[in-house]
Amino acid sequence: MKRNFALFFLFISLHLFSQSVEKTIILKDIDSNQPVEDATVYVVKSKQTLLSNAEGKVTFELKGGSNIIISHTSYVGSTVRTSILKEKENVVYLKSNLNDLDEIILSKQHPQKVLKSLIRNSVNQLIAPARLKVYSREFFKLNGNYSYYTDGLMNFQIFSKSKDFKSNILVEQNRSFGLVEEEISNNLLGYNFNNIMENYYNFKYLNPLLEPKALKDYDFLIKVYSSNKDYYVMSATPIDNAKGLLDDFKIVYDPEKKMIIEVSSVISPFTLAKSKEKTAVGSKNIYKSIFKTIYRIDGSDYYLMSSKEEIGFERIDKNKTTEIEVRNYFVTTNFSNQNYSFKESDVFKDKNLFNKKNKILTDYWTDSGLVPTDEELEIIKSIELRQE
């Protein structure tokens, strides 16, 4: 009887241990108690990578225990065991890497040449061939109202010829809902999956800083990164008499490995204030432009971790103006240097997921690597209800 009871207890224990358990972590700054956004959370057992949202939240499912490795360019790295995550929502505090250094880095080379060298070396270090499992999310706003939403889970097979990166795309699952007018859909500035990896892997968003005229339009400066003394940060800011609509750029990089960690840009408020409003039919007056990419160094692996883009513009039509805003997220949840096999007919060749018929096999968005904020959840629900 005792033996049977022991076997029964062992069976129940193994059954419980084998079940997937949902874990939620909220990352906060230990000094300010504010949420930490864009932290990379790596689940060692499942090899899944997640990104904290604007609320500092990540959610994942796991069978059994695992180490969770948390990293952020502005915070001291941390490792926690899932066994200590007892509550439904578990707060993990991160200590800021902020230092008192405000040291300007002097170089014999102009920062533009330094940047060219950084890009060249980073391109050479990016792993290819490689497979990236990616979750994408896009919000579309028309005349002040959220009217369309799409997300999807896909595999990007990255390959290169002389470090000119290309990709094949296989869509595992996707969903789209909401209403987008035909005249608007042709003007969406969301992800163009045909060249998105080419842009990110070749650092094409930095091209404006590499042109000869950038030497006249921008002030370049390199400093020790105040949020992490192990990194340098290069800033490029439009000068007072620069013409056109230009961005403020920030490039965070590892000066020892000469590899780019983050690239971000935002439309310069200074040049935006000076820009003349266009009135010709078909023209666009941009009033918002935000961009950020994060690259991950994991041992010898170096690849795109995430991107975030947001653009807003007013389009001039014959008898009206149309206000359009698009917000995109892009997160690599799993990386592998192995190829996958596929049929040519399975390759996704459209520009956007909203052109593809919905394919929902699982609730993939609940394990997407990027938890929507409460505000985003409300937006998604409201768009879905309007479609019904």
pLDDT in tens, 162-214: 778 888 999 999 999 887 665 555 555 456 788 888 899 999 999 999 999 99
Residue 329 — pLDDT band, cuts 50, 70, 90? very high
Predicted confidence (pLDDT) per residue in 90-104, tens digit: 999 999 887 766 788
Q: Return the sign of the alpha-carbon dihedral for residues 70, 75, 77, 79.
A: negative
Q: How far is CA 337 from the centre of its chain?
A: 20
Beta strand 145-161 pairing with 130-142? antiparallel
Q: Mean pLDDT throughout 302-322?
A: 91
Tokens 């994991």, located at residue? 298
The answer to whether residues 23 and 62 touch, using CB atoms and an 8 Å cutoff, is: yes
Q: What is the largest CA-CA distance in the chain?
A: 89
**DSSP state letter for 283:** -
**Residue 247 exposure: Cα atoms within 13 Å on the Cβ side:** 20
Q: How far apart are CA 258 and CA 232, in angstroms?
A: 10
Q: How many residues does the chain have?
A: 388
Residue 9 has pLDDT above 70, yes or no: no
Predicted confidence (pLDDT) per residue in 144-156, tens digit: 999 889 999 999 9
Mean pLDDT of the chain: 87
- Looking at the chain, which residues constitute the CATH 2.60.40.1120 domain(s)? 20-94
Burial (CB < 10 A; 0-12, 13-18, 19+), residue 278, is middle
Residue 226 has pLDDT above 90, yes or no: no
Q: How far apart are CA 327 and CA 366, in angstroms?
A: 20
Residue 73 has pLDDT above 80, yes or no: yes
**Residue 21 exposure: Cα atoms within 13 Å on the Cβ side:** 17
What is the H or E stretch that residue 148 is in?
strand 145-161
Burial (CB < 10 A; 0-12, 13-18, 19+), residue 310, is middle
pLDDT at 185: 53
- The CATH class for the domain spanning 20-94 reads mainly beta
Among candidates 61, 18, 28, 21, which has minimal Cα distance to 43? 61
Q: Which of 4-8, 158-162, 376-380 is modeled with the greatest confidence?
A: 376-380
Predicted confidence (pLDDT) per residue in 25-57, tens digit: 999 999 999 999 999 999 998 888 999 999 999
